Amino acid sequence: MIIDHPWYFVMLCLLVGAAYAGILYHVGRNRFPRGLRWGLTVLRFVAVSAIAFLLLAPLTKQDVTERQLPKVILAQDVSQSVALCADSSFTMDALAQTLDGHCQVTLETFGNNGCTDIGAVLEKHRNDNVAALVLASDGIHNRGINPTTVAERLSFPIHCIALGDTTSQHDADLRELRCNRIAMLNNQLPVEVTVKTTLLDGQSSTLTISDAEGRQMLSLPVHYEGRDFSTLLSFSLTATKPGLQRYTLHLKPVEGESNLNNNTLVFYVDVVDTRQRIAIYANAPHPDLAALKQALENNPNYEASVIMADDARHKKDSNYSLAILHNLPSQRHSSIAFADGVPKLYIIGLQTDLARFNALHSGLEIVARSSRTNEVTAIHQPSFPLFSLDPNDAAAIESLPPLSAPFGEAKTTPDVQTLFNARLGNIDTRQPLIAASSQGEQRRTFLWGDGLWRWRLADYQAHQSHQHVDRLITQLVAFTALQTNRDRLQITTERTYSTGEAVTLRAELYNESYQLNNGPDINLHLTGDSLQADYIFRRTGQSYTLTLPELKAGLYRYNASTADGLTSDGSFAVEELNTERQCLVADHSMLRTLATLTGGQLFSPQELSTLNSLLLKLKPTLYTHTRYAELLRMPWVLILIILLLAAEWILRKYHGEI
């Protein structure tokens, strides 16, 4: 018994009970016989003392033993390579039913997104309290971390069911396509593709290349030599049409081929006939310059040039759509006249001369407090109205390492809107880290701090790509240079998607004053190889978004329109992930390795009864833990008090005192 009060409180409860019973039965005249009076005294003493003791909220301590059934994960591979093999109808439903009641069974599938990531299945349960994991797969792994690396860290056995056939089959397939997915109009597009064959020695075939209309553009002969043959074919295509173009490679089947799914390869190339030229003016060499150039040139709409301020003073080029001023103006280069007449994105770093920058009256003024620098990270401001930033991008930017910013206090004009505020250590400030201004034709963007190269490196380490930082940079550039694009209705979409991936389009609508306006509806008419459908954009903030239903592989064209006649056309492609179809030969050695590393076993589909017997030997786990319960909540305590008071009442009633 545990109470949170000193021990003498218990004595006080007994004293209260004794006083109450004594006053009731021993003070004044009482007609009860002596023995009965003392019996009633005891009943009242116990009842009142118990009630007083319960007011102290005592706790009882109990050691409780619980029995938990062993947890078994049944992971079923449903990828295309399994669906196309002889074991395509295999399921673990019968095994799950047999284990039900003896184990906690979780049945899950993987590999239904066009690729197989066995490592992700193992990593998902690495920290779970699992007794065993049963993996039914053909062992073909083509995405993610190596499964054996994860298996070495697991504390439970993996029992593998080997599906598929390891026998080499007569087959020829196309793989490892290499080409630029962006081409300039009328330029040559180099293409390389690998042809790999098995057991087709001495036979010949033909590789044909066709455009979206089915017109044959090129034909190459291929002669197979040897049991396992591989050759690299190189050729060039001429980009004669602007827009997203579809090309089809087809390897003519030969007699005896068992798998024809990998004889055709479709790819898309974005042929552009214009690119916006971006000038990156720099005070001095800096790692940020390469980061900016790479981020912009990953987008087919931009051509970036790094120009030192010393060179820019001697020649002025007015054909740029945007000037990025890195650490300019500075003490060494006080004038930025070479960027006059061009929209500007200012990167205010440690070499920026703040006094000369403030004299530009750009909308942002920084009052320097000392020569110190601050290391600041980003805090997203969701109310930013000038354009929409993807929430995933915003969250990624917030997690990036700090930028180096001059120490000072910022003052902004009312038209400057903040996209990211600066966080100094653990303190969220109201100082803008990234801000933008839109006032009629004049658009300006500010980034208070340099070190973008660290952002791109950290983005790649966290997500295996630079996409979050690159999208932020291109959105800032697109917003600032937007006055060179006078279309009032603008649709933003990726050029290519993968089957199963969400296809999301974003739209921005501007009024006659070129201000964002999402009042009118925006309709979208979508056409594909065998599809015609109409959709309406959904309003998001001051812009619009539209997520389309799952689309089949193919080339899609869209026409967006408003009721007052504004239109915008474009196209995108959905590429089919055929990685699974390239090779249908099972890799049972992978499964054997996983089982050996974790103390499991390898079974064939016909040995399920043996596996079932092995799993039925798993023992439940007994857990002993201490449980504390309030004495007041125990029913027997209330019943005892009621019985005491009832007994007292009956005795008094029987002797005529009530």
DSSP 240: -
What is the CATH architecture assignment of 171-259? Answer: Sandwich (2.60)
The model's confidence at residue 449, banded by pLDDT at 50, 70 and 90, is very high
519-532 pLDDT tens trace: 899 999 999 877 89
Check residue 583 and give its pLDDT: 66
448 three-state secondary structure? strand
Q: Poorest-confidence range of 82-96, 213-227, 236-250?
A: 82-96
Report the amino acid identity of residue 271: V
* pLDDT exceeds cutoff 60 at 440: no
Sorting pLDDT into bands at 50, 70 and 90, what band is 316? low
Domain 486-575 fold: Immunoglobulin-like (2.60.40)
Residue with tokens 């389009």: 505
Is pLDDT above 70 for 658? no
Confidence of residue 494 (pLDDT cuts 50, 70, 90): confident
pLDDT at 18: 87
3-state secondary structure 2-37: ECCCCCHHHHHHHHHHHHHHHHHHHCCCCCCCHHHH
Joined together, the tokens standing for residue 164 give 């598929």
Q: Which pLDDT score is estimated for 275?
A: 66
Q: How confident is the model at residue 452 (pLDDT cuts 50, 70, 90)?
A: very high
Contact between residue 96 and residue 113 where contact means Cβ atoms under 8 Å apart: no
Q: What is the mean pLDDT of residues 317-328?
A: 85
What is the residue-wise DSSP string for 384-414? --SS---HHHHHHHHTSPPEEEEEEEEEE-T
Q: Is the pLDDT of residue 186 over 90?
A: no
Residue 485 pLDDT class (50, 70, 90 cuts): very low
Residue 395 structure tokens: 């969250």
Stretch 622-645: mean pLDDT: 82
pLDDT at 180: 83
pLDDT at 3: 78
Percentage of residues in the chain with pLDDT exceeding 90?
31
Number of other residues whose CB lies within 10 A of the CB of residue 211:
15
What pLDDT is recorded for position 380? Answer: 94
Q: Mean per-residue pLDDT for 347-369?
A: 90
Q: What stretches of 125-268 show up as alpha helix (H) in DSSP?
A: 147-151
Q: Cα(587)–Cα(601) distance, rounded to whole angstroms? A: 16
The CATH class of 70-167+585-619 is alpha beta
CB atoms within 10 A of CB 96: 17
Q: Give me the pLDDT at residue 626, please.
A: 79
Longest dimension (CA), the chain: 125
Least confident of 109-118, 171-180, 222-231, 406-415: 109-118
Lowest mean pLDDT segment, chosen from 134-138, 323-327, 648-652: 648-652
For the chain, give the mean pLDDT: 85
64 pLDDT more than 90: no
Confidence of residue 561 (pLDDT cuts 50, 70, 90): very high
Q: How far apart are CA 90 and CA 82, in angstroms?
A: 9
CATH number for domain 276-483, candidates 3.20.20.140, 1.10.240.10, 3.40.50.880, 3.40.50.300:
3.40.50.880
Residue 484 has pLDDT above 50, yes or no: no
Q: What is the pLDDT of residue 557?
A: 92
Listed in sequence order, the residues at least 6 apart from 512 whose beta carbon sits closer than 8 Å to its beta carbon are 488
CA angle 465, 467, 469 (to 5 degrees): 110
pLDDT at 313 over 90: no
**Chain centre distance of CA 534:** 29
Q: How confident is the model at residue 314 (pLDDT cuts 50, 70, 90)?
A: low
Q: Which carries the bigger pLDDT value, residue 458 or residue 63? A: 458
The whole-angstrom separation of Cα 540 and Cα 231 is 51
Q: How far apart are CA 472 and CA 436, in angstroms?
A: 13
Are the C-beta atoms of residues 237 and 193 closer than 8 Å to each other?
A: no
Q: What is the pLDDT of residues 96-106, one digit of tens each?
A: 888 888 888 98
Contact 205/251 with Cβ under 8 angstroms?
yes
| Prediction pTM value | 0.46
- Do the Cβ atoms of 366 and 447 come closer than 8 Å? no
Percent of the chain at pLDDT > 70 equals 93
Angle value at C-alpha 315, between 311 and 316, nearest 5 degrees: 120
Positions of E strands within 12-129: 59-68, 71-77, 104-110
Question: Which pLDDT tens digit goes with each residue over 384-436?
Answer: 988 888 889 999 999 999 999 988 888 999 889 999 999 988 888 889 999 99
Give me the pLDDT at residue 627, please.
78
Q: Which DSSP string do the residues of 449-470 spell out, in sequence order? A: -B-HHHHHHHHHHHHSSSHHHH
Under 8 Å CB-to-CB from 614, ≥6 apart: which residues?
Answer: 159, 601
Cα 42 from Cα 459, distance rounded (Å): 78
